[in-house]
Structure 1
Amino acid sequence: MSLRTALRAGTSDCHADVDQIFGRFDLGREADYGAFLSAHTRAVPAVEIALEKAGIERLIPDWAERRRRDLLLDDLAAMNVPLPPALDAPPMQDDAALLGAVYVLEGSKLGGAMLAKAVGKGLPSAYLSPFGPKGGMKAFMDMLDNAGADEAGAVEAARAVFALFRKAAEMELEMAAS
């Protein structure tokens, strides 16, 4: 089984769960969209920084073109939404963990491109707009297909990143409800 197949199979429940909870945000409403971006801000920068500290550029040389935290922070600032406290990223102990974490972040780009269509008129959406190196997703998926990384370790890391996104969404939804 390829690492991509193992990640897809080993995280499908987490992916569905995160899609469901983030689906509760109405991106057409400014307040909901701000909370959606805040939830992502609790997770994405922490994960990207952890990946960088662990040396992701060694595995993915075009990493700087892939990361999105600056776009996310710019969108949040354009909406005058204060920066929320970041959550702690899961440990990035080895190549398998790095690839598992990037799998979640790269997958979120695909979802983001679809979600961008739902963003309210006049609201900033650079974070959700497709970008990155041309052919970057295919290159990453090909890398996963050929990676000899520990499947269980990659799946565990991906599940931890999905859990971080879920926790971030729950925090924002709880704040909106109170």
Structure 2
Amino acid sequence: MTAVPGSRRSGPRWHLREATAALHAEADRLGGAHDLSTLPGYARFLGVHARALPGLEAALDAAGLAAMLPDWPRRRRAAALQADLTRLGEPVPAPLPVPPIAPGAAALGAAYVLEGSRLGNTMLLRQAQAGPALAECGAFAYLSHQPGPAGWAGFLALLDQELPDPGSWAAAADGARLAFQVFLDALRTGVTPAAPHPQDIPRVAVS
């Protein structure tokens, strides 16, 4: 779908959605391989995100995103990820290196990917909490993280405000594609599979 000026689906959000559609679909495909209802699957899911998210957040800090997005510090989730992995007794993997992100439109494009990644978290949280080995662990700070009252709608409103000129949308798309690529690199390389937890080892009946 191509955004048509003056239509209901014109503006930076729709340009970014179209520009990243293929990358988004690939990320969904690879991410769907994790079984969040088991401890090893959930730990691998968190580990993959811990390889991608902290470096992206640090790059956006360096790009001065907080100057455009005042509640950016509240939206950051790297600490929540680390807390969940620590609670599970899992090592926190080294983050992937992230190229510098240009200030302005590119930074907002990368932030669009990070903020958009929250949208399915309610469903993922239900999947994780449905696992008997995970229901009582309490390691859900990442999936239950809330960005504050502005939320997704507030971010989209700011995107429209900051990027009214279509001439800036290409740079925003570059930032969004960079963010997706970091997540895809993390998904493709994965993390070393964790050893099975006792709760996940099948019981063998002994006669």
- TM-score between the two structures when normalised by the length of structure 1: 0.92
1:172 Cα shift? 1.6
- Count residues in correspondence: 176
Matched, 1:125 2:143: no
The 5 A counterparts of 1:13-28 are 13-28=22-37
Shift of 1:30: 0.5
User: 2: distance between equivalents of 1:74 and 1:130?
Assistant: 12
Is 1:167 aligned to residue 185 of structure 2?
Answer: yes
- When normalised by structure 2's length, the TM-score is 0.80
> How far, CA to CA, are the matches of 2:150 and 2:178 in structure 1?
27
Which residue does the alignment assign to 1:176? 193
- Segments of 5+ residues of structure 2 without an aligned counterpart are 1-9, 195-207
In the alignment, structure 1 residue 53 sits paired with structure 2 residue 53: no
Name the CA distance, whole Å, in 1 between partners of 2:62 and 2:103. Answer: 12
Structure 1 pair 161–28 and aligned structure 2 pair: CA distance change class (3 A): same
Give the drift of 1:29: 0.9
Displacement after TM superposition at 1:112 (Å): 1.8
Indicate if the aligned counterparts of 1:42 and 1:168 stay in contact, CA closer than 8 A: yes
Q: State the distance in 2 between where 1:144 and 1:125 align.
A: 29
Distance 1:20 1:38 in 2: 17
**Inter-partner Cα distance in structure 1 for 2:105 and 2:150:** 22
Q: Which protein is bigger by CA-based radius of gyration?
A: 2
Tell me if the contact between 1:90 and 1:161 (Cα under 8 Å) persists in the aligned partners. Answer: no
CA shift, 1:137, in A, is: 1.3
The one of 26, 32, 40 aligned to 2:41: 32
Q: Map of 1:29-178 to 2, 5 A cutoff? A: 29-119=38-128, 120=131, 121-123=135-137, 124-148=139-163, 150-172=168-190, 175-176=192-193
Quote the offset at 1:91 in angstroms.
2.1
RMSD between superposed Cα atoms in Å: 1.6
Contact 1:3 1:147 in 2 (8 A): no
Q: CA offsets per residue over residues 128-155 of structure 1, 9 Å max, x none?
A: 1141211321111111223336111111
Greater helix percent: which structure?
Answer: 1
- Extract unaligned runs of 5+ from structure 1: none
Report the CA distance between 1:49 and its aligned residue. Answer: 1.0
Report percent identity of matched pairs: 39
